[in-house]
Structure 1
Amino acid sequence: MKKIILIAVAVLLFTNCEKKEGLPELSAENIPSNDQIASSFVKVLNEETNQQNIFSQLQNSDLPISLTDMFSRLIPSEKQMRFLFSASISKKADNREVYEFWLHHNTDTFNPEEVLVAYAPDNAEQLKSITAFDLQGNKIELDAKTPPEVPVIVIEKNGFHALQLRVEDMNDKLQKAGLQSKTAVTLKNFKSYQKTNLETTKLDKISLKDDQEPWIKGGAEIYAITSGIRDTNNAPELKIIPMYYLDDEDETYYPNQIMLFWDEYQYQAANIQLFEQDSNYNYQELISIIIDGVTQITGTLSGQPWVNALGNIAGAIIDALPEQWYTDDDDYIDSFYTIEKNKSYSNHYGASKNAKVDLSPFTVLGN
């Protein structure tokens, strides 16, 4: 992983304190195991000046805290430096992993002496138990399926902050592959659209039956792939949209999130397909697979009735997905086909009946 930001912060901290002997070199040979990272953080947590600071950060944040933000608020020590350096390196150099922390807390009261520290393993779905450490450094096995009653500080690298970077990368790849127009509305260029009215479809309400996440993985990292037809040749138009708020199954969310920008499409219908970020599958490979799948049918779309082409684009995305997504690790959630412009949808189920949404037309007025 080329985490330039994390390494830069490590270097900044290092240059602002007295140089110490024995700090690890930044090399793949020094990559710690999951248990070593959790155990190292216990040592950081046990430093008296850090404990209350860390607890306060975690209790007062609705979102996971990145390693960078966590350590920027602490006084550097050798133990912290060692942890920061070791956790800034990854074997997966192209997988945009970002270490982050969040607090699992199912109890009404918070007793710091009961706090455990655990690392969220990539294969948590297949495990029967999760290894955690108490503040004395003792190993404790937790049930992987049943959330513990004691507070647990969870360390994760394929969560909220990683998804932010991966969505940006995936959209860049779609543009380079010609499957997303240069004029597509994105966070990068949204300001350029502020003087014009934008016709959109907005997600008003959503709930999931099953988000596939064990407790150790925290909230699900859900994203959508929207697809439509760009021009009269039925060229595909795809976009990745993150849905950071969509954490828990059997909960109803009211995001008011824009999902479809109709200026991007030739016709007044598009698809919305929901997926969960899969830490067991390299997202760079995944987006390449989807691009290949859609590109393979692009030449056959011209001349088809547009509604057929629209369905074929969504079908190509599904067909391209790894087979295991439909077996043990079901990271495909649902599809909403042929969502029409200027039409409202209430309690509308996806094709797999795993997601239910309310959608409505919404005009973004220019300033």
Structure 2
Amino acid sequence: MKKLIFTPITVFALLVFLASCSQEENDIQVVPETKKEELKSEALVKDFIEIYKKESNRSIILNSLKGQDLPVALDAVMPEFEKNSAGTEALAGLKEYQKEIRSTQVAGEALQASEIWMLNKDKDFAYDEVLFAKAPETKDEEDMETVTVYNIKGEAVELNANERPDLPIIMIEDNGYEALKLRASAMNEMLAESNLNTVGSNLALRTASEDKKPIEVTRLTSINLKDDKEPWFLGSAEIYAVVSGTRNEKNEPQVQVIAMTYLDKSGITYRPNQIMVYWEDYSLQAVNIQLFEQDSRTSYKGLVTNISGEVTKLTSDLAKMPELTALGTIASAIISAMPDKWFTNDDDEVDYFYALKKQDYKDFGGAAGNATATFELDVIEHN
């Protein structure tokens, strides 16, 4: 067997080789996650621009966006894109994006839903004056100074994040109106699993027994917000309510999440006639209604886990409290569960209505002075 002989020259050559390998490794640039997201967003927007350039697609997009106040689900217009742009790279890119978004709905972690909306859609503009952007969802809105949008040529344009532009801009968003509907439903399912949401169970029992007693509810018949807490580049606000109270003599908590998808702009009085409370679900004839805006691009599961943890750990104490004290304690626990800083944005506190009784309230101001609402007691008779 031959012995390996290391001369000074071979040792030097080996050291040079190892050093060059080390240098090559050091030259490899790791792309930060935020940069990866920016590159993905840019590619998505440019694919959408190519789709938009085709007149038949453009007509569908603009007519859909101008025809309603709410965002348009991308799923609603994709069939037309597939007919008009079959076989194109742009369509393939858009379909891959849709596939990725749908995977979040199966996995149940982020629960995203893609939609498009348009800033300044009521203004007169030529089709090639429209700008395009992906709603920035991995950055803290308070720290943003500029927003990158793209013109019809695919060229980047920087806009002031703090000043609403007077330009038509089509935005693509994953965490808006459509996502809120999915998340509200999922959050209530999780609250039910934690035994914090039994909403509707009493009514179901009564229906099964053919009890024809009228159903007492409280409706939200009008509401106006001074500030919807949403910057221009994230579009309309996505407001949800957390309704809470006690459901039995032990003061066991009842918590329900209600999506208020119509409540998307400040300074406008909305008249939803939305049922907020089924009084059969509560033992005390008073509830809390706390309004928040879905600003966080984060885990709704984490929020429910926080709420469940904060409220559940009070269960033994709640049983010893007077009912009204327990009601206030539950509301405080829900506030404590809200994130200080998750991912990028917080779920903004919009306003609170504490200890609302089973009665009418006309033009009633919330505790924070941001919301003015009218609540009306209603009785629903059986057929």
Instruction: Report the TM-score when normalising by structure 2.
Output: 0.81
1:59, CA displacement in angstroms?
1.6
State the 1:334 CA deviation.
Answer: 1.5
Q: Does 1:355 align with 2:371?
A: yes
Q: Does 1:290 align with 2:307?
A: yes
Residue in 1 that maps onto 2:24: none
Alignment of 1:148-187 (within 5 A): 148-181=165-198, 183-184=200-201
2:322 matches 1:305: yes
Distance 1:330 1:172 in 2: 20
2:232 aligned with 1:221: no
Structure holding more helix per residue: 2
Task: Assess if the C-alpha contact under 8 Å between 1:125 and 1:329 holds in 2.
Answer: no
The sequence identity of aligned pairs, in percent, is 36
Match of 1:60 in 2: 67
Structure-1-length-normalised TM-score:
0.84
On the 8 A contact 1:197/1:365 being kept in 2, the answer is yes
Q: 1:312 to 1:222 in 2, by over 3 A?
A: same
Q: Which residue of 1 aligns with 2:33?
A: none
**What is the CA RMSD across the aligned residues, in angstroms?**
2.7
Q: State whether structure 2 residue 254 is matched by structure 1 residue 247.
A: no
Deviation per residue, 1:133-163 (Å, 9 max, x gap): 1111111112212222221111000000000
Q: Does 1:96 align with 2:111?
A: yes
Shift of 1:126: 2.6
Moved more, 196-205 or 223-232: 196-205
- After superposition, give the CA deviation of every residue in 1:29-87 in whole Å (9 maximum; x if it has no partner): x9862222111111111123322222222222322111211202231523212212134
Partner in structure 1 of residue 56 of structure 2:
49
Alpha-carbon distance in structure 2 between the residues aligned to 1:125 and 1:170: 27
Alignment of 1:1-367 (within 5 A): 33-74=40-81, 75=83, 76-77=85-86, 78=88, 79-89=90-100, 94-105=109-120, 108-122=123-137, 123=139, 124-181=141-198, 183-184=200-201, 197-324=214-341, 329=346, 331-341=348-358, 343-367=359-383
Quote how far apart the aligned CAs of 1:303 are.
2.7
Instruction: Name the CA distance, whole Å, in 2 between partners of 1:144 and 1:155.
Output: 17
Return the alpha-carbon distance in structure 2 between the equivalents of residues 306 and 150 of structure 1.
Answer: 53
Contact preservation (8 Å) 1:107, 1:150:
no
* Deviating 4+ runs (over 4 angstroms): 90-93, 191-196, 327-330
Aligned mates of 1:180, 1:268 — CA distance in 2: 17
Equivalent AA in structure 2 for residue 69 of structure 1: A
Amino acid at match of 2:277: L
1:164 positional shift? 0.6
Contact 1:220–1:248, Cα closer than 8 Å, also in 2: yes
Contact 1:107 1:149 in 2 (8 A): no
Given that residues 208 and 249 in structure 1 are in contact (C-alpha distance below 8 angstroms), is that contact kept between their aligned partners in structure 2? Answer: yes
CA distance in 1, matches of 2:199, 2:321: 25
Deviation of the 1:103 alpha carbon: 1.3
Q: Which amino acid aligns with 1:98?
A: A
Runs of 5+ in structure 1 lacking a partner? Answer: 1-29
Count of residue pairs the alignment pairs up:
335
Task: Look at both structures and tell me which one has the larger radius of gyration over its CA atoms.
Answer: 2
Note the residue ranges of structure 2 that are not aligned, 5 or more in a row. 1-35
Name the amino acid aligned to 1:85: E
Question: In 2, are the aligned partners of 1:45 and 1:54 still within 8 Å (CA)?
Answer: yes
Q: Distance in 1 between matches of 2:78 and 2:218?
A: 40
CA distance in 2, matches of 1:106, 1:47: 19
Q: d(CA) in 1 for partners of 2:305 and 2:186?
A: 11
Cα distance, 1:254–1:182 mapped onto 2, change above 3 Å:
closer
Instruction: Return the alpha-carbon distance in structure 2 between the equivalents of residues 275 and 363 of structure 1.
Output: 28
The answer for the alignment partner of 2:28 in structure 1 is: none
Q: Is the 8 A contact 1:106 1:148 kept in 2?
A: no
Deviations, residues 224-269 of structure 1 (Å, cap 9, x unaligned): 0000111111110110011111111222212111111101011211
Separation (CA, whole Å) in 2 of partners of 1:242 and 1:117: 28
Contact 1:37/1:87, CA 8 A, preserved across alignment: no
Q: CA deviation at 1:316?
A: 0.8
CA positional deviation for 1:321:
1.7
Deviates more, 1:159-168 or 1:139-148: 139-148
Q: State the alpha-carbon separation in 2 of the partners of residues 212 and 257 from structure 1.
A: 22
User: Partners of 2:200 and 2:224 in 1: how far apart?
Assistant: 31
Residue 296 of structure 1 and its aligned partner are, at CA, apart by 0.8
